[in-house]
Structure formats: structure tokens, C-alpha cells
Structure 1
Amino acid sequence: MIHKKTRKYIPADLDIKWENLEPLYLDLVNRQIDNTGDLEFWMRDRSELEAALEEDFAWRYIRMTCDTNSEEKLAAFQYFATEIEPKTAPYSNELNKKLVASPYFDELDHDKYFVYLRGVKKALELFREENIPLQTELQVEAQKYQQISGAMSVTIDGKEYTLEQAGALLKDTDRNKRHQAWQAITARRLQEKEKLDDLFDHLRALRHKVAVNAGFENYRDYMFQALGRFDYTPQDCYAFHEAIEREVVPILQEHAHQRQQALGLSELRPWDMDVNTSGKPPLKPFSNGDDLIEKTIQCFTNINSYLGERLEIMKANNLFDVESRKGKAPGGYNYPLSETGAPFIFMNSANTFRDLTTMVHEGGHAVHTFLTADLELNDFKHCPSEVAELASMSMELVSMDNWNVYFSDQDDLRRAKRDQLVDVLKTLPWVAVVDQFQHWIYTNPEHTADERREAWKQIYEPFGAGFADWSGLEDAEANLWQKQLHIFEIPFYYIEYGMAQLGAIAVWKNYKENPEKALQQYLDALKLGYTKTIKEIYQTAGIKFDFSADYVKELAQFVKAEIEKL
């Protein structure tokens, strides 16, 4: 069993209520600091308080997403969002000012603290008192997406399915059954089209106001600063989109043509894109949630005993909720528990192959959480997404050599690896579409819902539109964006998946050449947390932080060649 770290500053039994928190913040604001040692001690006390708050919020979020029907769990989450965060925000700003204004600030080890202090200065630049209630409202409103999505289910042949469970039927070899499932899922999503449009219009307006308050022309430019994107610009993102369109889309078009021929179809429709072209039934790598956890523990152990032990610890401490059910929020995540030093993995398994890759993906995040647990400051653990997703996406590929744990049949194992590598390439156009769509949304803040749908289609088409024929299904195509949780809840968190996907391919390429060295470099990079720049972390992993057209081409061709071997 694992336990929270022993607290040195805040009370062990601190009840997270504002009346108990304010004295601690006042102590930090008013404390006298007489030397550099005092300043670092003060930084550690602040870090301990923030870690406690983060873990309390984490559990409120986890419990709410595990049961979106519970008014009590929603109220607990909303209490933190409306009564705690708005009151801590001004104090956090005061603490940032106290740190930067300290006469001992320049005596800090700026190599050790460079990344952290850069973030503090940026937070001071962006802070606006008038944005606090707006950020609170955004936090509460965004969660309505999960309530709407979590309530969705469909009935097919007299049986009720969550959308994740129904999605598994899209792999059925019977085309009529696939079509039936796709129609049911799509119709259910379109029932909520106007409700989700209204919700998003409200979120977009609030976000634009936050940006304007902070002195920005639009929310896109604000978020590039707020996310700490010190290493690339919006123009770099557009260039990345173009590289994906030029270098990756043609490979996937070729695969789509092969799929069409193998299935003997005159055209591919959206319900034809997930079925295996071998004519064999869908892959079944596990039987239920418990089996998935056990097999993943064995898979990770076979890579390296440390990795398997981390998941064993999570299992022993009930830090998994993996099976899909009605009333559960959609998607999957790994949520770090800042004081405990372990994470919680949440996902919606429907006993499909994709659930296997989701589990090893979140397992990569989990390992990252453990590796950074003992870093000195809580902020050192706050890795940017470009690094966090490198941890998870690399694990998807590195783990493939041990997928025999899930597949005893060699042909099934080969199919699984091939499907995974095709999915790696398919990730890139979707990332480009979602990212480019968000650039358009927030640089056109006055757009209508109809204009938004048209923009989505205009952006989606050059990237292959899923490589299917959408004739007669234009309404479904135009509303595909609504299934992407990130657009509603965590805006602009998406291009990082593309950058990290390239990095993961490079890690895997190294792993194929020298497994022991590549794995050690990968773990060494993750141990850094966010104590170094993104480029330095990637260098430690033995790869480049690069998304130029030449690099995209090199890695896409490498994956293509590996697919052909299978």
C-alpha cells in the first residue's frame, strides 16, 4: 500500500475549506525571508500546500467523472471550482510577486530553477483579477460536456450500449451490422447537436473575454502564452499541419485504397474504416477490465520489472476504473495524485483492441507520475503536454514487443501490431485537423454555429476526411468535432499529440536498434519532470524536438516500411 508523503508544513488532517486555507496563505505572504535558504524553504512550504490542494481537486474530479449522475459528486467538484480556486488565485499571484521581488531571487540556482522561474514570470504577466470569476465559470461550464456525453447510450437489437461499447460493433465483419451501429451512434450524437453548440458558444465567448482582459487580440494568442509554448509559434503549427498533409496523408490514402480492394467495395463509407480487412473477427486481447489490468502488468514487467511494479502498486491501491458503463464520463486519462506520488487511471474499456492501446498509453503516463514523484517542488512535476504525451505514446510502441501477453496467436499479434502502426499515422492528420480547427475558432471569435460546421468540413477534407466517402452524411461529418472532448474542456491541448507522436516514433526507432539503451534514455528523460526545457528533455531521450517537413517525412517513411514488414 502507498500513502501520502508526510507533511512538514500544513496540518496532516487539514480539511480543505477556505477558512482553513487562508491562514496558510497569509503565513506565506507575510513570512520574513532573511536569506536564500529561507527563500527555498518558503518555496518548499508553498509547494506542499499546492500539492495538497491539487490532490484534493484530483479526487473530486475523478469521483465526478466516474459517476456523472451523482449530484453529490458534482457539487463537491463545483465547491472546489467556485469556493476554493477563485480565492487561492489572488494569493498565488501575491506569492509569485513575493518570490520575484525577493532580494534573494537572483541568488537562487537559476540552472536548477530556470524553467520554474520562467513559468512564474509568465504567470505574473498574464494574471488579471477580473479573469478569476471567468475562469471559475469556464471550469464549471466545461464539465457540462461530460454530463451530456456520459448520458448517451444507444439500443441496438434490443440491447443498450454506451457509445464506447457500441463503437466496438464497427469492427464487425457484417457490413449491415456496422452500418446499423454507426447510424445509431451518429443519430444519438446529433440529438445533442444544438445543446453542444450552445454550450460551446458560451465557452468560446468566455474564453475570448479572458484573452481580451489579458491584453490579447484573441484566445489563441493568449493560450500560447498561458500554456508556456516557449519553443514554437502558431506559424510553426501551420507548417506542421502542411507537412502532415504532404507526407502522411498520401500514405494513408494508399492504405485506404488497399482497404477498399480487400473489402471488395465500390467506395469506403465511415462504417467501413475500423473492420479488419482480413475478414477475421475483431481482435480480443482480453476478456474484461481485470484481465486487461493483469495482462498490462505482465506486459510492463516483461519490458522492465520497475514498470510492472508501478502498475501492481496501482492495482493494490484501487487506482483503476477501466470499464465502460452508463453515467461514466467519456474518454480516458491518467490523473497524478500530487501528495501520494501515484496516479489514477480512468478509461472506458469495451473489450476492444483500441482499449489495449489506451491502457498502455495511460500506463506510460502512470510511469511518468511515479518517476517524478520525489522531485523537490510540485511545479517540477507539471510537465508540458509535449513531454507528458511523449511518455505515453512511446509506451504504446515500446510495449509492442511484449504484446504476446495479449495475443497467443501469431497472426493476431501481427494484425495488432499492423493496426497499431496504421493508427500511429492516422493520429497525425486528426491532430492537425483538431488543432487547425481551434486556430480558426479562436481567431474568428464572432462566428456562428453554421460557419463553424463549414470551417470544420473545409479543414477536414484536405486531410482525407477519415479517408471515407461522406456523401449524404454531410450533417454527421460537419459535427464530428463535437466528439472531441479536448475542444470543450482543454482548448489547444492537441497539437502536442502530434509532436509527441513524432518523438515516440523516434524513441521506438532507437528501441528497435538498442532496446536497453533506448529504454534507459526514455526513463532518464521522464525523471527530469519539467526541470529542463522541452528540447533538453527530448535530447535526454535520445531524440530531437523537431516537426519540420523533413523530419515528418523521415519518420512517416520509417513507419510505412515497418507496416510493410507485417
Structure 2
Amino acid sequence: MKFSEYPYERPDYGQYEKDFNSGLKELTTATSNEGAIQAVHHLNDLRKRVDTMLNLALIRHSVDTKDAFYTAEDDYWNEYGPYFESLDAKFYQALLASKYRTALEEVFPETLFLIAEGRVALFKESAIPLMQKENQLTSEYANLVASAQIDYEGKTYTLSQLRPFTQSQDRTVRKAAADKVTAFFVENEAEFDRIYDEMVKTRTTLAHELGFKDYVEYAYVNMNRWGYDRKMVETYRQNILTDVVPVVEKSYGRQQERLGLTELKAYDLPLIYPNGNATPKGTPVELVAAAQKMYHELSPETGEFFDYMVEHDLLDLLSKSGKQSGGYCTFLSDYKSPFIFANFNGTSGDVDVLTHEAGHAFQCYQSQWIEEPELIFPNNEAAEIHSMSMEFITWPYMEHFFKDETMKYKFAHLFGALSFLPYGVLVDHFQQAIYENPQWTPKERKDCWRKLEKQYNPFKDYGDSPDLDRGIYWFRQGHIFEAPFYYIDYTLAQVCAFQFWKKFIVDQDPKAWEDYLRICKVGGSQTFLEILTTGNLVSPFEDGALQDTIQAIDKFLGEITEEQLR
């Protein structure tokens, strides 16, 4: 079937609850190892069905927020999602308490039991109203951002559609487009402040209700951060300040010279080259065809995967009115189908989507043997290794997309990944500060953002934008609102992806593909640190791991001459 033919049916919660409780009874009253194992298989089948319907509704609503039917379904899942989660909590409790647990642990992945332990700690029936409130606030934020209709030069644009103008070679256009984006957030500032203030209070109350000191402590359990803690993350952030920020500052100094500017303003940062950034050559249809050719050339596994995505219409790539912003990959368990959502806008980001989100999709396509819906993807910090590494693994094929601008793309891509690291840990540091101080006013939150921004992103000069200078840039960072604390994961993964970059591009290690394929196949059946071992990668928390990768990148970028970038 094509994706459009995948049937959606809202689950009847009452009937599902009866079926689920019947399955739970099979597990709790089992009289043999085999009986307990079969009961877990049955419960997994039920959970996969609900997970499939949830994701179908999520996809179709995000593709068109104006569709009344799926808007209603989004409201349904916001309300009933916590009830389904409450049944999962009962499953986790029964799983952990089973007298056949030893036999179950021999059949089902260890991480299922680790998740179960965390989820039991994270759930109480009394917390359901708070979870519902959080879901509703998240939808309010997403819909507010999606509502942007920005008039510019006689036409109307979404935030995503306006992005190419922020990379214009004409400085006045760059500034005007950047000002238009900022103006949208200023015009809606009170609403963004209200939504986030309610989010912080709701999440803090939720954490206290479940017995946690603060929401930070709750979030570490919620994010399944096994094997590392808040203190280790703080040390890692300091390493970014020490080892990465100076290299990024130096590279931006080179960019300022290249652009011929006396001052590099924040709105100049997206333009890396005076004659324009590298852009993909071809229509969206041609880009997808080029991606299909690339994945066939890369490996039999990736060729088969991408054919499946194209044949089943599992890519929604074009930006349009009413479509939510951003990009994501999700998985439809009953159909063993990944799905890629994106907003093409004519920039190099279109190609990044075809590599980054395809990295996620390829991983879960390889992990479809896993029956637990929560284990198809690994934890976030590990999941991003697959996507970010795929961006580099496909470097040898970038001429398919960029033709004579390939070197420009590679330089900008590698530097962009490097310069992201300080921003990524800034977002994490900001959130930790916010949830350690939930009583802060909106102004205090903005002051905190700007103070941290000056540490991690000292090269951001907002001299022409007093609104950004008072700290509202973070309004546009959806993760802060929609997926709290899911951000430093990108940076941890990026450090690991840089190791794959070195293996594939610098060292041309013949075993590199085997390492990558292995970590794709294990999905979420291993922890972050175990996945690193499987892929022969060095942990970002080990001494020297950061310095080695950053020095290699600094050397590579430094050896590319300005003549090569013209």
C-alpha cells in the first residue's frame, strides 16, 4: 500500500483497556516461562497497533494542520495519550514483578526492562491531568508557529519558506528577512511567554507529584540517560566551551573576511560565501531521484531501503501553508514503515534532510525485527548518531546534488556541524537553569538565555536587533517547548558522528560500513554506551575524545583554500 492508503481508526479506549487488561492477566497469572513470554508478545502486538494509529494521526495532522478531522484526532491523542501510557505503566509493573522475569530477560532486550524501571518511576494516575495539560500546551506552541503568515515583498510565507531569504547574497535582504522572522516572535511574544510559563509550572508540578527534586531530575529519567548524569553533562558542556568555541570563533573570523565585512552581524552568519551558499541543483523530484541513485551506489542495504520509501510514498518533503515546521522521522509499527517529514525550501538543508532523516529511517528499517515500539529507535543521543553519520557517509555522492558547488557544501556542512556544538549545549544549559529556577519570570528567562548565549555563541552580534539582544531567540527552538532536554543529545551524537566522518572520509577505513550497519541493526536494544562499543566508537565522556575530533576537523577545514570555495 501507499502511505495514503494506510487506514486510520481511532482506538476505542474502553475496548482497548479490556483487551490490554486481559493480556496483563495472562502475564501475571502465567504458570510457565512459555506462558509469560507469549503474554508479552501478545501485549506488544496490542501496543504496536496503538502506536501505529498514534503516529498516523501525528503525521497527517502535521502535514496539514488545517485538516479538521486530524485536528480533532490530535486533540483526542492529547487527551487520551496519558491513559494509554497508564496502561503501559501497568505492563511495565507486571513485567518487572513477573516471577518468570529471568526467562523474559533472556528473550526480550535488556533495555525494555531499563525503560520499565524508569516508566514505573515516572507514572501515577494522579499525574494524568498534568500530562494532558502538557500535551495541549505543546500543540498550542506547534500550531502558533505553524500559523505564521509573513508578508514579504508582496507575497506570504511560512517561517520555513522565508529561510532562503535569510541566506541571500544581498545583505539588505538577509537583514530584512531576519527582521521579519524576529517580528513574528515579537508580535506573539506574550503568547509564547504564556505557553512556556504554563509549561514550566506544569512540568515542575509533574516532577514534584512523582517525587523528583525538580524537573531536571525527572527529565534525566524520562530521557533514559543510562550511564551518565547531570554532573557529567556539565563537565561535557565545559569541554565544549574550552575546546570548540575558540575554533568556531576563528572560523567565523575567516567568514567575515570572506564576506568582506567590517562587522559580522547575527543575520550574516547564515551566508558563508559572498557569491551565495551551495544550493541543490534540481527540482524536488530530481533530488529524490538523485538520492535514490546515491543510496543504490552506497550499499545494497540502503538501495533496498530507499526504494521502499519511494514506492510507498513515505516521504512528505514540500513546504506548504498549514504544514508544521521542521522535519522528523517516525515509524509505523504495524507496517514496518519509516516516514520522513520535511519542508524543502531550496537550500542545502533539503539535501541534509535526505541524508539526516534518511539516516534515522534506515536505522529503524534495519531494526524492524524489534517488536517493542519503544525500542525501534534507540535513546535520542544514540539515535542521532545514525542520522548525523549518514550525512557524512554520503559525502562521496554530493556531486549528484551540488555539481560544481560540492566543495562549498562540504566545507559549510562540516563547519555547520562544528559550530552547532556550542549552540546545542547552550540549549541544554538554558533548560537546566530554567527548571532549576521554575519561579523565574519571562524576563528572567530571557536574561538567562542572553547571558548563556554570550558565553557559548559570543560571535552572535545582535547590535541591529534589540529584541534578540534581550533574549528571545529561543522562542524559535521547538525542542525547548515540545521535547524538553532533547537537545544535548544532538551534540553527543555529533561528536560520535565526527568519528564516522574520520573513518569514512579521512581514514577510508574498510570496516567503517560494517561498524555503521551494526549500530543500525541493534536499534534500541542497547544503551548509548553499549552502542558506542558495538560501533567501535569512543565515548564523548572519555578524556581526549573531544579534542581529537575537533583537532582533526580544524585541520581539514584549514587545508581547504579560499580559492576552492569560490
Alignment TM-score, normalising by the size of structure 2: 0.94
**Residue 502 of structure 1 contacts residue 547 of structure 1 at CA under 8 Å; is this kept in 2?**
no
Residue aligned with 2:156, SS: strand
1:105 corresponding residue in structure 2: 101
- Which residue identity does 2:279 align to in structure 1? K
2:436 corresponding residue in structure 1: 443
Q: RMSD of the alignment, in Å?
A: 2.0
Segment of structure 1 superposing worse, 124-133 or 522-531: 124-133
1:180 aligns with 2:176: yes
- Rounded to whole Å, the distance in 1 between the matches of 2:543 and 2:556 is 20
One of 394, 403, 406 as aligned partner of 2:401 = 406
**Residue 249 of structure 1 contacts residue 464 of structure 1 at CA under 8 Å; is this kept in 2?**
yes
1:36 corresponding residue in structure 2: 33
1:523 aligns with 2:517: yes
1:56 aligns with 2:53: yes
Task: Give deviations 1:183-213, integer Å, cap 9, x for gaps.
Answer: 1221122211111110011111110011000
1:470 aligns with 2:466: no
**Residue 534 of structure 1 contacts residue 545 of structure 1 at CA under 8 Å; is this kept in 2?**
no
- Which residue identity does 2:191 align to in structure 1? K
**Residue 67 of structure 1 contacts residue 329 of structure 1 at CA under 8 Å; is this kept in 2?**
yes
**Residue 535 of structure 1 contacts residue 544 of structure 1 at CA under 8 Å; is this kept in 2?**
no
- Rounded to whole Å, the distance in 1 between the matches of 2:338 and 2:292 is 15
1:167 corresponding residue in structure 2: 163
- Rounded to whole Å, the distance in 1 between the matches of 2:150 and 2:535 is 44
1:224-373 aligned within 5 A: 224-277=220-273, 279-373=274-368
Q: CA deviation at 1:113?
A: 3.2
- Rounded to whole Å, the distance in 2 between the matches of 1:455 and 1:47 is 44
1:541 aligns with 2:535: yes
- Rounded to whole Å, the distance in 2 between the matches of 1:175 and 1:87 is 52
Q: CA deviation at 1:50?
A: 0.8
1:7 corresponding residue in structure 2: none
Distance verdict in 2 for CA 1:172–1:379, change over 3 Å? closer
Q: CA deviation at 1:549?
A: 5.7
1:563 aligns with 2:560: no
Q: CA deviation at 1:13?
A: 10
1:552 aligns with 2:546: yes
- Rounded to whole Å, the distance in 1 between the matches of 2:53 and 2:37 is 25
1:456 aligns with 2:449: yes
Residue aligned with 2:157, SS: strand
- Rounded to whole Å, the distance in 1 between the matches of 2:289 and 2:377 is 29
1:78 corresponding residue in structure 2: 75
Distance verdict in 2 for CA 1:316–1:212, change over 3 Å? same
Q: CA deviation at 1:358?
A: 2.4
**Residue 14 of structure 1 contacts residue 20 of structure 1 at CA under 8 Å; is this kept in 2?**
no
- Which residue identity does 2:362 align to in structure 1? V
Segment of structure 1 superposing worse, 150-159 or 340-349: 150-159
1:69 aligns with 2:66: yes
1:134-213 aligned within 5 A: 134-213=130-209
- Which residue identity does 1:182 align to in structure 2? A
Aligned residues: percent identity? 26
Distance verdict in 2 for CA 1:314–1:487, change over 3 Å? same
Q: Gapped runs of 5+ residues in structure 1?
A: 5-11
Distance verdict in 2 for CA 1:519–1:129, change over 3 Å? same
Task: Give deviations 1:362-400, integer Å, cap 9, x for gaps.
Answer: 000010110111124334324100111011000011111
2:391 corresponding residue in structure 1: 396
Alignment TM-score, normalising by the size of structure 1: 0.94
- Rounded to whole Å, the distance in 2 between the matches of 1:299 and 1:265 is 38
Task: Give deviations 1:455-491, integer Å, cap 9, x for gaps.
Answer: 00011101124x2321242322411101001011010
Residue aligned with 1:108, SS: helix
- Rounded to whole Å, the distance in 1 between the matches of 2:66 and 2:474 is 24
1:495 aligns with 2:488: yes
1:127 aligns with 2:120: no
- Rounded to whole Å, the distance in 2 between the matches of 1:111 and 1:534 is 20
Residue aligned with 2:150, SS: strand
2:497 corresponding residue in structure 1: 504
Segment of structure 1 superposing worse, 170-179 or 105-114: 105-114
Residue aligned with 2:335, SS: coil
Residue aligned with 1:419, SS: helix
- Which residue identity does 1:33 align to in structure 2? A
**Residue 215 of structure 2 contacts residue 435 of structure 2 at CA under 8 Å; is this kept in 1?**
yes
Task: Give deviations 1:380-434, integer Å, cap 9, x for gaps.
Answer: 324100111011000011111110111222xx11100000010110110110110
Residue aligned with 1:215, SS: coil
- Rounded to whole Å, the distance in 2 between the matches of 1:365 and 1:464 is 28
**Residue 277 of structure 2 contacts residue 409 of structure 2 at CA under 8 Å; is this kept in 1?**
no
- Which residue identity does 2:69 align to in structure 1? E
**Residue 372 of structure 1 contacts residue 526 of structure 1 at CA under 8 Å; is this kept in 2?**
yes
- Which residue identity does 1:437 align to in structure 2? F
Distance verdict in 2 for CA 1:468–1:117, change over 3 Å? closer
Q: CA deviation at 1:175?
A: 1.2
Residue aligned with 1:155, SS: strand
**Residue 3 of structure 2 contacts residue 314 of structure 2 at CA under 8 Å; is this kept in 1?**
no
- Rounded to whole Å, the distance in 2 between the matches of 1:521 and 1:549 is 22
- Rounded to whole Å, the distance in 2 between the matches of 1:43 and 1:520 is 32
- Which residue identity does 1:537 align to in structure 2? I
Residue aligned with 2:398, SS: helix
- Rounded to whole Å, the distance in 1 between the matches of 2:179 and 2:371 is 52
Distance verdict in 2 for CA 1:67–1:542, change over 3 Å? same
Distance verdict in 2 for CA 1:125–1:183, change over 3 Å? closer
Distance verdict in 2 for CA 1:298–1:558, change over 3 Å? same
- Rounded to whole Å, the distance in 2 between the matches of 1:335 and 1:17 is 23
- Rounded to whole Å, the distance in 1 between the matches of 2:167 and 2:246 is 24
Task: Give deviations 1:539-560, integer Å, cap 9, x for gaps.
Answer: 1112122234621111111111
Segment of structure 1 superposing worse, 308-317 or 419-428: 308-317
**Residue 511 of structure 1 contacts residue 517 of structure 1 at CA under 8 Å; is this kept in 2?**
no
- Rounded to whole Å, the distance in 2 between the matches of 1:429 and 1:157 is 34
Distance verdict in 2 for CA 1:33–1:357, change over 3 Å? same
Segment of structure 1 superposing worse, 62-71 or 443-452: 62-71
Residue aligned with 2:511, SS: helix
- Which residue identity does 2:441 align to in structure 1? T
- Rounded to whole Å, the distance in 1 between the matches of 2:212 and 2:450 is 28
- Which residue identity does 1:367 align to in structure 2? F
